[in-house]
Every structure is written in C-alpha cells, then in structure tokens.
C-alpha cells in the first residue's frame, strides 16, 4: 500500500505569507515573508498534531486542520466586510456573532 503525503494544511498555511509578500513586493524584504511563513507552517503543524491526537486518523486530522486554518486566516477579512452591517435588525459585524458562527462551522466541518 502506498503512503500519501498530507500537504494541504501546509499549502493553506503558506498562502498568507505569500500573499503578504505579493501585495508588498517593493516594500517588504523576502526575509520578513519567510519569517511569517515559518510561523504559519508551525501553526499548521501544531493544528495538524492536535487534530491527529483528537481524531486518531491523519487524513481526517488534515481536513480538520485545513478547515481550522482557513477559518483562522479568513476571520479578520470576513469581520471587516460585515462590520456595521445589519440583517433583520441585528448588527452582524460583532465578534460574538461571528465567533459563534466560526465555531459552528468548525464543529460542523469536524463532525
């Protein structure tokens, strides 16, 4: 049986650092992006190991780690987009609502 490498959590973790470098190519030295990439890769490895301990399966752990990284890195961008907007009389741009929604998405995706 052939073993497959689980790389998608690490690719997802590298995206923010690569995006940071791409958006600021003339203003940011590559060493700063490399440091950000190292921090993101470490975060990804920790998320993968925690999920592996909890789920006892590498592939399921990788999916949960990828989902948690996507939610983590997209939280601030989503919050900035909905901040101050109202839906049915409720202000949607509040951390208590968005954090609860993100927690629900993570739990629903991990189930």
Q: Which residue has the higher pLDDT, 67 or 32?
A: 67
Residue 40, CA atoms < 13 Å, CB-side half-sphere: 24
Does 84 fall in a domain?
yes
What's the total number of domains in the chain?
Answer: 1
Q: Could you tell me if 61 and 55 are in contact, meaning their C-beta atoms sit under 8 angstroms apart?
A: yes
> How many CB atoms sit inside 10 A of residue 110's CB?
16
pLDDT in tens, 54-111: 999 999 999 999 999 999 999 989 998 888 777 677 666 778 888 888 899 998 888 7
- CA distances to 4, 40, 86, 105 from 93, rounded to whole Å, are 41, 26, 8, 17
pTM score over 0.75: yes
Does 1 fall in a domain?
no
Does 106 fall in a domain?
yes
The DSSP line for 6-33 is --HHHHHHHHHHHHHHHHTTTTS-HHHH
What range does the domain containing 51 cover?
Answer: 8-110
């Amino acid at each position: 049986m052939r073993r497959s490498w689980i790389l998608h959590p690490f690719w997802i973790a590298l995206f923010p650092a690569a995006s940071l470098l791409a958006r600021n190519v003339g203003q940011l030295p590559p060493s700063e992006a490399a440091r950000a990439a190292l921090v993101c890769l470490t975060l990804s490895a920790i998320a993968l190991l925690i999920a592996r301990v909890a789920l006892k399966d590498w592939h399921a752990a990788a999916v949960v780690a990828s989902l948690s990284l996507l939610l983590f890195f997209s939280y601030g961008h989503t919050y900035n987009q909905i901040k101050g907007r109202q839906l049915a009389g409720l202000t949607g741009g509040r951390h208590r609502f968005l954090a609860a929604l993100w927690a629900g998405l993570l739990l629903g995706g991990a189930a």
